[in-house]
A and B are shown apart, each in its own frame.
Chain A
Amino acid sequence: MTGLRLLAGPDLASGAESDANHSRRLGAPKLSGRALIEALASSGLTGRGGGSFPVGTKWRAVAAASKGSPVVVVNGAEGEPQSHKDRVLMSTRPHLVLDGAFLAAHTLRAREVIVYIGEEHRAARAAMDRALAERTESERRIARMVGAPQRYVAGESRAAVHLIEAGVATPTTAPPRSHERGVAGAPTLVQNVETLAHVALIARYGDAWFRSAGRRGAAGTLLITVAGGVKRPGVLEVEAGTTIEEAVAMADGPSGPASAVLIGGYFGAWVAAAKAWELPLDAAALKTEGFNLGCGVVGVLPAGRCGVCDTARIMRYLAEESSAQCGPCFFGLRALSDACSRIAERGANRDEIARLKRWVVEVPGRGACRHPDGAVMFLRSALATFADEFAAHPAHWRQQPA
C-alpha cells in the first residue's frame, strides 16, 4: 500500500523512512518565510485535524501577532477512535511531518516546537523520536516531545495548549484562540501532523502543484481511514473530491451490502449508504451538504449491523469523554446517552424519541469547547438516518465490537 504524495516512496510496510532516504528522494524545501505563507494561502490547503481551517489564514494570524515569539505545536494526538491516518503518517514519513514543523518554526520565527503525540501511539512516537534525533542540532535544540493523554478531547487545540501549560488536557474557553494566545501567552500554531506534511511538499513543489491533484474542483490529496464493512480497512491517500464510493472501492470494496456510512468520525454524521456513495471527500463540498470531513474517517455500516446500537455505544463514549467542565455538556450528553441506551436495551419508545428530539436542540453552543456540539450533530444525523430503525427498534442491545 503506497499513496499518491504523502505516502509515495518506499513501501509503508518497511517502516519509517530515514532522513537520508527522505532527503535523497525529495530534496530540500525551496520556499519558506513570507513566500511559503502566500503559497499555503493560494494552495487552498486546510487543516486536517478535523477543523478544516485554512492553513494560510492561520499562519498569517500567527505571523501578524506581535506578542512574544510564537510556539509551534505538532498535533499527533489522534484521539478519534476510528482514525489511524496520523499515526500511519508519523510511523512511515516522520521527516515529512518534521519538515513542515521546522518550516513553520523558521517562517514564524518560533522559539519552540512541541511534538504532541498520543501516548498509546507507541510506534508513531518511537518513529518520531528517532527521526528527531536525525535532525540538525539547531532544530533539535528547539524541539521537545510531549505525550498526549488518550482522551477524545486531548487533541483539541486549546486542550493541547492547556496540557503543555498546566499539565491537564482539558479544553479552555475560546476566544482567545490558540493562534492568538497559546503556550505561555505566545501566539501558538497548533497544526495537525498531516497538514504539516502537506506544507513540506508545498514548500518543495509550490501551490499550483498542490492544486494539480484533486477532483470535482477540490485541491490536493488527503489521508483517510476507511473502517468497518470493507474488505481491506485501513489508511488511504486519495485525491480530494474522490467520492466515498471510489474510496471504498480502493479499500477493495464493501464486504457486503452497506446500510449507512459514518462520515468524519464521532463528530461526523451518519448518511444513508445510497446517498453517501455520491458524496465527495472534500471539506468545502461536504460542508455545503451539511456534513463534516472531520479527520477523514469513512466508517461503513454493514446491512446486518444495528445502527441504533452503534449510535447508543458511541453516544455513551462521547458522554464519558465530556471533561465535566460545563453542565450542559456533562449532564446533557449523559441524558442523551442514557435515552439512547434505553432504546437500544428495551426497544423503541415514542416518548424517548420525542425527548431526544427535544433535547438535541438544547445542548449545542453551551459548552466552553465544541464537544457537546459535535456529539449532538452526530446524534441528530443518527435520528434522521435511522429514523425507521429508532421507531421500530427491538429490545436487543447488540454489544457490537467497535
Chain B
Amino acid sequence: MSDTLLWYTTRGAGAVSLILLSGVVVLGVLSALRVQSAGWPKFLTTGLHRNIALMAMVFLALHIVTAIVDPFTHLGWLTAVVPFSSYYRTLWLGLGTIAFELLVAIVATSLVRGLIGQGAWRAVHWLAYASWPVAVIHGFGTGTDALSGWFMVLSIVCVGSVAVAVVYRLGQGSADPLASARSDFRARVARRPDR
C-alpha cells in the first residue's frame, strides 16, 4: 500500500468516524426520549444506534491502524493504548487515545450487558458524553484538515446536531413516563417513623 494512500485513509476514516459517532450520539439521545412515529418505530432508533456504533468501530480501527503503520509517523503501537505516549502532537493524539478507550469500554459493556446488569451498563454508557467531545477536540487539534473548509462545515454540522439533540432532551425533562408516577407512589408507601 502506498504511503500516500495510508495517509489519506487515516484522514478519511477519521472524518467518517466523526460523522458516524455524532450520529450514534444523536440516536442515543433520541432513544432515551423514546422518539417514535407511525413511520419510525422505537426499535429503529435503538437498532440504528447500535449498528452505526459498530460501524464506527470499524472505521476507527482503520483510522488508528493506518496512522500507526504509516512509515512517516513512527507512532508505534503503544500510542494506540497509552495516552500521551506519542512524541508527535502528544496532547492531541493522547485525547484521541482516551476517546477511543472510553468508546471501547462503552461497546464492550454493551456486548455483555446481560452479564453485568443494567445499572453498571448504564453508568459506563454515560461515558459517551466524555468520549465524543474528546474525540471532536482530537480532530480539531491534530487533524491535518482541521482548517479546511469541508472539515469545518462537517464539524459544525456534527457538533450542532448533537448540541440540538442534547438541549432538546434537557428541555423534555424525564423521558420515562412512569418515573414521576412511580416516585409519587413510592413516597406514599414509604415507612413513616416507627412510634
Interface of A toward B, CB cutoff 8 Å = 119, 144-147, 149, 151, 153-154, 159, 163, 167-170, 322-325, 327, 330-331
How many Å from the CB of A162 to the closest CB on chain B?
9
* Number of chain B residues close to chain A: CB under 8 A: 14
Interface check B72, CB cutoff 8 A: no
Within 8 A of A (CB), among B139-191: 177-178, 181-182, 184-186, 188-191
Query: Are A169 and B189 within 8 A (Cβ)?
Result: yes
Beyond A147-B195, A149-B188, A323-B186: 12 further Cβ-contacts under 8 Å? Answer: A119-B192, A145-B194, A149-B192, A167-B191, A168-B186, A169-B191, A322-B185, A323-B182, A323-B185, A324-B178, A324-B181, A331-B177
Pick the contact of A149 from B182, B189, B194 — CB < 8 Å? Answer: B189
Which of B177, B181, B189 counts the most A-chain CB atoms under 10 A from its CB? B189
Query: Are A147 and B191 within 8 A (Cβ)?
Result: yes
Query: Are A325 and B189 within 8 A (Cβ)?
Result: no
Query: Are A149 and B185 within 8 A (Cβ)?
Result: no
A327-B189 contact, Cβ under 8 Å, with A145-B194, A146-B194, A147-B194: no
A379 to B52, CA, bound (A): 46
Query: Are A330 and B194 within 8 A (Cβ)?
Result: no
A149 to B192, CA, bound (A): 8
Instruction: Say what secondary structure dominates the interface of chain A.
Output: mixed
Determine the residue in chain B with the shortest Cβ distance to A154: B189
Q: Which residues of B contact A169 (CB under 8 A)?
A: 189-191
Pick the contact of B192 from A144, A145, A147, A325 — CB < 8 Å? Answer: A147
A167 to B185, CA, bound (A): 13
Q: Which residues of A contact B195 (CB under 8 A)?
A: 145, 147
Q: Which residues of B contact A322 (CB under 8 A)?
A: 185
How many Å from the CB of A375 to the closest CB on chain B?
15
Determine the residue in chain B with the shortest Cβ distance to A164: B191
How many Å from the CB of B38 to the closest CB on chain A?
19
Pick the contact of B191 from A149, A324, A327, A331 — CB < 8 Å? Answer: A149
Q: Which residues of A contact B188 (CB under 8 A)?
A: 149, 151
Query: Are A324 and B190 within 8 A (Cβ)?
Result: no
Q: Which residues of B contact A146 (CB under 8 A)?
A: 191, 194
A167 to B182, CA, bound (A): 15
A119 to B193, CA, bound (A): 11
A149 to B184, CA, bound (A): 14
Query: Are A149 and B178 within 8 A (Cβ)?
Result: no
Query: Are A323 and B191 within 8 A (Cβ)?
Result: no
Query: Are A170 and B186 within 8 A (Cβ)?
Result: yes
Q: Which residues of A contact B181 (CB under 8 A)?
A: 324, 330
Which of A147, A149, A324 counts the most B-chain CB atoms under 10 A from its CB? A324
